[in-house]
Structure 1
Amino acid sequence: MAAAHDPVPVEDFDYEALPPNFSVWENCVAGAFAGVAEHSVMYPVDMLKTRLQVLKPAEGGIYTGMQQAFWRIGKVEGYGSMWKGVTSVIMGAGPAHALYFVTYEAVKHAMGGNNAGHHPFAGATSGACATIASDALMNPFDVIKQRMQVHGSTYRSIFQCTKSIYRREGFRAFYVSYPTTISMTVPFTALQFSAYGSISQALNPKREYNPTTHMIAGGLAGGLAAALTTPLDVIKTLLQTRGTAKDPELRNAKGMFDAAAIIKRQDGYGGFFRGLRPRIMTTVPSTAICWSCYELAKNYFIRHHDDP
């Protein structure tokens, strides 16, 4: 064992345990890189999910499934419209994911998640704390994104959209869905992080940097979490797009339970699973990309770090 005054070589660290001089800035860069890559690559599929989840869409915005929605949007609006609002995601995803992974690593370290062995509770708790912090920052950007994704949106830029929402509905519109978002993303993230840790442990027991296992574990963990939390995602979409609705009942939805009652009344229990396929199809590659990029950036910093 090295003496306390001896420098500790980077190579002596378990890959999953960050070196003691791994800075907050480096964690921010790794998280931001992962977030922007995750959201921008899969944005068109996320747009399809939003379109399919909207209740009582405007004329011309009714779709029977993913494939039909894809071809119809491309034919009527042009395939470029599937990227409408992506700027909002890029602007928000970088800072939000930086905060996400900083919080994740801090809480995981505090709970002993970087110690030898398997620590699913530490992973789940750190993931839940991370999502509460990051969603507080990301929620307004998500509202803007979904307002620009819906059928018939006339917004030309995220700044015009922001100004219009604030003028017509007030600041509250940017956070009316936040309790629902937290109710969805906390279990989503807890499930994803604990599943990611368990799958990674099974596929990569030596806990070495391995892009293939990070991608597989991230994708499987994300898909499982997405499937189980889809009903809350449908409620979130209703609240975030209520300002575009023609139906007074949808437009005046006051919160999570009110929105859930409206969905049940208008669309039955099946309404809570609208957009399930595109949600899973978005989340599996998104989380695979996110974890792969984050682990890549983290590995780069660890390997090229100066000795403390």
Structure 2
Amino acid sequence: MSDALINGLSGAGGGIIAQLITYPLQTVNTRQQTERDLKKEKRKLGTIEEMCQLVKREGWGRLYGGLTPSLVGTAASQGVYYYFYQIFRNKAEAASLERMKKGVGDGSVGMLASLWVAALSGCVNVLLTNPIWVVVTRMQTHTKTSKKIQPDQSQMLSVDPNETILAASELPPYGTNHAIQEVFDEAGVWGFWKGVFPTLFMVSNPSIQFMLYETMLKKLKKRRALNRKGNNGVTAVEIFLLGALAKLGATIVTYPLLVVKSRLQAKQVSTGDKRHHYKGTLDAVLKMIRYEGFYGFYKGMSTKIVQSVLAAAVLFMVKEELVKGARFLLTKDASAVKSKPL
């Protein structure tokens, strides 16, 4: 089994576990990002309060709306990303060693090369898996509009402020097939690549994340090797903390792009207030600046930081442990084969 395949499968496994742990936070955050109520006087709900209201109105199941395609998307995204990341990383390392033989550099992959490796891997991942995330966003933000609750009975939480949420008992099932059909009816096949341009720009998030992670990990291993006379082992807890710090920095820088992407992938309001209908990336950016100000680009950021940092930390920790376990098993098997008598 190749090193790239080991990293790809380990990344998929780590991503699934991280997704299962943090999915309710992700659902609430997607709703916060796509909420388009322009009334300044509306009280801002906290993450826990908004989660409780969502459960009260629509049931516990809504916290896990779109979980199945999300798990598929996470496994596919992390698998594709780590697979191509390792391939590109191996090529970058080989190029660095060639330059060292010519007397240029120390043979290690620099920060700029790490950034390019992560960016290329991210672009491949986005182009292959964007349709899955369009469906997931639809399922996370889906609300019903038929039998209305009176406005004074509850504070409404909806993608479209003109829509009203049904009581939990009145919600008919809304599954993956419904979301796929809805996207196709709106924009055809190209509808599954809505938000792909801001998402391509969003590859800077994992690029920055991996650049920070690899840089911090490299420095930690170097320091550990000096202190422990060649032993540069890193613990799972240290991997967890490095992953969290790397993701925190990347999320703060790129969060506005994530909000624009979610707005484009959520169901568009084709009738009524045109301020809520986005024709494309530029139109979304301009309307958000005009009607919501720059605050609109940071809706739900506190929730996202908690969710993404926790998810990234768990992903890095689990992925590294899976890689170690796979390599140990493969090495053990190889040793057993070599030692087996004829």
Q: What band does the TM-score fall into relative to the shorter chain?
A: 0.7 to 0.9
- Cα 1:195–1:284 change in 2 (3 A) is same
Q: 1:182, CA displacement in angstroms?
A: 0.9
* Alpha-carbon distance between aligned partners in 2 of 1:244 and 1:161, rounded to the nearest angstrom: 15
From 207, 214, 218, the counterpart of 1:190:
207
Q: 1:176, CA displacement in angstroms?
A: 2.0
Asked whether the equivalents of residues 239 and 259 of structure 1 are also in contact (C-alpha less than 8 Å), the reply is yes
* Alpha-carbon distance between aligned partners in 2 of 1:299 and 1:119, rounded to the nearest angstrom: 24
Mark the runs of 5 or more structure 2 residues left unpaired by the alignment.
Answer: 98-106, 145-171, 226-231, 336-342
**AA aligned opposite 1:70:** M
**Deviations 1:154-210 (CA, angstroms, capped at 9, x unpaired):** 6621122112221232112211200111112x2111110111012223433344352
The yes-or-no answer on 1:89 pairing with 2:107 is no
**AA aligned opposite 2:293:** G
Q: TM-score, normalised by structure 1?
A: 0.84
From 180, 188, 194, the counterpart of 1:162:
180
Q: 1:118, CA displacement in angstroms?
A: 6.2
SS in 2 for 1:253: coil
Alignment of 1:205-216 (within 5 A): 205=222, 206=225, 207-216=232-241
What is the identity percentage for the equivalent residue pairs of Structure 1 and Structure 2?
22
From 137, 141, 149, the counterpart of 1:150:
141
Q: 1:129, CA displacement in angstroms?
A: 1.2
Mark the runs of 5 or more structure 1 residues left unpaired by the alignment.
Answer: 1-20
2:148 equivalent in structure 1: none
**AA aligned opposite 1:149:** Q
**AA aligned opposite 2:217:** S
**Deviations 1:252-282 (CA, angstroms, capped at 9, x unpaired):** 4222211100111110011111111011111
**AA aligned opposite 2:241:** I
Asked whether the equivalents of residues 92 and 137 of structure 1 are also in contact (C-alpha less than 8 Å), the reply is no
1:31 equivalent in structure 2: 11
* Alpha-carbon distance between aligned partners in 1 of 2:45 and 2:270, rounded to the nearest angstrom: 19
From 23, 39, 43, the counterpart of 2:23:
43
The yes-or-no answer on 1:305 pairing with 2:291 is no
The yes-or-no answer on 1:296 pairing with 2:287 is no
Q: How many residues align?
A: 285
2:147 equivalent in structure 1: none
Q: TM-score, normalised by structure 2?
A: 0.76
From 232, 241, 252, the counterpart of 1:227:
252
* Alpha-carbon distance between aligned partners in 2 of 1:214 and 1:234, rounded to the nearest angstrom: 28
Asked whether the equivalents of residues 84 and 149 of structure 1 are also in contact (C-alpha less than 8 Å), the reply is yes
2:280 equivalent in structure 1: 255
SS in 1 for 2:114: helix
Q: 1:247, CA displacement in angstroms?
A: 4.8
Asked whether the equivalents of residues 57 and 151 of structure 1 are also in contact (C-alpha less than 8 Å), the reply is no
1:127 equivalent in structure 2: 118
Q: 1:81, CA displacement in angstroms?
A: 1.3
1:175 equivalent in structure 2: 193
Q: 1:138, CA displacement in angstroms?
A: 2.2
Q: 1:39, CA displacement in angstroms?
A: 2.1
**AA aligned opposite 1:68:** E
* Alpha-carbon distance between aligned partners in 1 of 2:129 and 2:306, rounded to the nearest angstrom: 22
**AA aligned opposite 1:65:** G
Asked whether the equivalents of residues 4 and 84 of structure 2 are also in contact (C-alpha less than 8 Å), the reply is no
* Alpha-carbon distance between aligned partners in 2 of 1:22 and 1:237, rounded to the nearest angstrom: 36
Asked whether the equivalents of residues 51 and 151 of structure 1 are also in contact (C-alpha less than 8 Å), the reply is no
**AA aligned opposite 1:22:** S
2:167 equivalent in structure 1: none
1:107 equivalent in structure 2: 88
Q: 1:25, CA displacement in angstroms?
A: 3.6
* Alpha-carbon distance between aligned partners in 2 of 1:161 and 1:24, rounded to the nearest angstrom: 33
